[in-house]
Structure 1
Amino acid sequence: MTRLKGVKVVIADDEKLMALELQALLLELYFDLQIVGVAHDGETALELVETCKPDIAFLDIQMPGMTGLEVAKRLIAGEEPPVVVFATAYDEYALKAFAVNAMDYILKPYDEADIRRVMEKFEKLLAGSSVNPKLNINKESLKPDRIRKFSLEKGDRMKIIDSDKIELIYAKDRLVYIKTLDGEIYRTKLTLQEYEVKLPAEHFFRCHRNYIVNVNQIKEIATWFNKGYILILKQNAAGKGQEIPVGRAYAAKLREYIEL
């Protein structure tokens, strides 16, 4: 018996074969789950969730009528929303997924390792939750936390930095650094991917495989070759605004933060 025994699941995917594949993978790996509904469009998914009251909902982002993102926005406005995991063929939707309090997202075609990763994350959340008479689930505890403060090493001390004091995070020579608004630079043990998840998604933008920037520190945007962009940050303590490239794979996401 696992903590997942009795956990109710709804799956929504407009591709019927993909929905069946996800259902089969979930039950193969976690036989004690309850698949209480499968939908192939956003409206039906919303109705299923409202009727069946699942604990976790796998939502395809791109569905006819109402997208998975729109469904999630409606759900989180309710009193007892399920934990949401998005399914998509494009990882460019990752930031949008976290912006609507999704626990995680998985890429198509579905992979056993990804399924295990999200369900193990779900189990850990259950293990840390307070008691609920039904399933030992505290819904509030399942919403993803965005960390607002970080401890960074400075000599023999740990300095506490508010996330809004971070100008950018960057990778160089296989190491990751945080640069603050006062020009201080700290080496950190976390990866860019981990910061991408932990930082408030509405304020931090992964603009390049080597950079995450505080969008509130962007002063100007310059066009670059091949329809790319350069972000020019506000002047820091040194009196100069740093220029940060926007990778081609990330350029479309920029529009989520700034009207271009």
Structure 2
Amino acid sequence: MLSIIICEDDSKQLQRMEQVINNYIMIEELDAELVLATKDPDEVLTYVNASQGQTRLYLLDVDLKHELSGLTLAAEIRKVDDIGKIVFVTTHGELSYLTFTYKVEAMDYIIKSQPEEVERRVRECIDLAISRYLMDGDGKNSKFKVKLGDTIRSIPYEEIMFFESGISPHKVVLHTQSRQLEFYGSIRELEDKDECLYRCHKSFVVNVNNIKQINKVERIIEMVNGEEVLLSIRAMRKLKKID
């Protein structure tokens, strides 16, 4: 289900937006829900931090009459939700370029000058967000979420080659097709994240879908990107069907 969040400081416009969205969801029988409509950006951040795992569409006013503008709110949202869809609804069309400065990857920037046009564009954004949500695996956990500093990144499983224990204690190195990311964690916890992940060695968890070949003599797994992973004797017995 797509969760929709509105943050708008004008009470009348907030109420109108709620009505438009709830009516559209009901009439079209959409797999979506308006979970929060508020004038307070702090309430948005509290909700987002407390309810992980949702696929969300955010409709944010730029000028919120608060120490947090809609743009800075979007930047804070991006620290914990890097796949949510963000749409700005505002009277300040001249500020649209700032969405690039804040690096929030906005889906749309809707100007409030014509109410009917705003409503039409909001409905289009809902349709597009639902379409992308379905393409991402119908809400299933098709991406691996990893915390890097203050941000959370989502890596599609098809890009993951393997994980290995880091040199530093309690650190794991994630190998993708073209890069490496180090984060706090343990190899033991990773095997249960997705059915494609398999612990092939005490120090490695491999994505079985990206195995190119297995050298049973040297006990080495070659990945599709050319990297190699160690394979224990015990784990090799369960991987025979992949050769």
- TM-score using structure 1 length: 0.44
- TM-score using structure 2 length: 0.47
Larger Cα-atom Rg: 2
